[in-house]
Amino acid sequence: MYARLFEPVQLGEISLKNRIIMAPMTRDRAGPDDVPNAIMVEYYRQRASAGMIVTEGTQPSIEGKGYWRTPGIYSAAQIDGWRHVTDAVHGAGGCIALQIMHCGRVVVPANRGYAADIIAPSAIVMDGKVPGPDGVPVPTAMPRPLDADELPALADGFASAARNAIDAGFDAVELHCASGYLINQFLNPASNRRDDAYGGDAARRATFPLMALRAMAHAIGAGRVGIRISPGNPYNGMDVSDPWGDFAPFLQGASTLGLAYLHIVDMGDACPDTLGRVGALYDGALVANNMLTADSALERLSGQVQAVSFGRAFIANPDLPTRIAGGHPLAKPDYGLLYTGEERGYCDYPPLK
């Protein structure tokens, strides 16, 4: 019944054994100095039956961190820690991409454990709260607006993170352009009030995101770079009054680069006809995401979508493809352990017997 989900597919330079992708999910389990640890190795290894795993959002620099215990990809120790993860996934027959996520203004300083600038397109604090080290949501800090002459080096930092990911053994990287983080902050008028070449209308707001994306594509090859967007998602203070106007210049520019894929968080009724609108703006492979079931995933694959991704279904079902193939019921995750508990609620969910 679900045979199409299990067909291999080529996304750019990435070969997937099936079309079921594990979506990126923050889990707050990294070790000291934001180094991937042994429980992360086991967590990702267990889920290697996915066609591809996309990791949790990973900061490309010390300024990129906003949440508690998220991993990095800028130090030698972090690269080595991730290499243990990729070795384990490849040893289990899997494929894995690193999601690169710079939080920009979405920062609680106490989550970092070190002093570093909080940077954003403009000096506009996010109207919302982020969990601190104890899990209690607190207001974010006021960011420092980036100078125009800082932006080329910042783009190079994304390229360096991509090179580090390949050095760590990843098959690809995914640039997080969604959910109100730095790239999305440049694209969105709620967070970008600049009056220079990097702000103003939607085309100028797309200038830095495309600069960073081109730098990454040049560093490791466009066929190993994917992007993730979430049109119509107000998360972290985004203005969703004109999502297609805001995203169109970026998608059209990205479409010329020959990227591996575009990963789309479909917000449903909040942003009608997302896949159709994206398809009119972007020429390339599409991956559909958000609250999919096996049946709705199959329906997406009958259209212009090449692969589908599942997030929370993978938390309590490390062997999700096996369960889908056999029509088995899915286990429910313990939502109280999404971001805490070490092994509990993380790598202790059993596969089917």
Count CB atoms within 10 A of the CB of residue 83.
16
Give the helix, strand, coil percentages of the chain, each rounded to 5: 35, 15, 45
Specify whether 181 is catalytic: yes
Helices (H), the chain: 38-46, 76-91, 151-167, 182-187, 202-205, 207-220, 243-254, 274-281, 294-301, 313-316, 320-326
Q: Taking the alpha carbons of 311, 316, 322, 327 in that order, is the dihedral positive or negative?
A: negative
Q: Which long-range contacts does 126-132 make (Cβ < 8 Å, 24+ apart)?
A: 126/180, 126/191, 126/236, 126/237, 127/237, 128/236, 128/237, 130/66, 130/67, 130/106, 131/67, 131/68, 131/339, 132/68, 132/108
β-partners of residue 100 are 58, 175
Cα–Cα distances (Å) from 107 to 133, 144, 153, 234, in that order, read: 12, 12, 21, 17
CB 59 within 8 A of CB 146: no
Three-state DSSP state, 330: coil
Rounded CA-CA distance 34/71 in Å is: 4
Three-state DSSP state, 295: helix
Three-state DSSP state, 24: coil
CB 152 within 8 A of CB 209: no
Q: Which helix (H) or strand (E) holds 173?
A: strand 172-176
Q: Taking the alpha carbons of 76, 78, 79, 83 in that order, is the dihedral positive or negative?
A: positive
CB 285 within 8 A of CB 12: yes
| Tokens at 339, concatenated | 């971001």
* Marked catalytic residue, from 43, 181, 282, 349: 181
Show which residues are catalytic.
Answer: 181
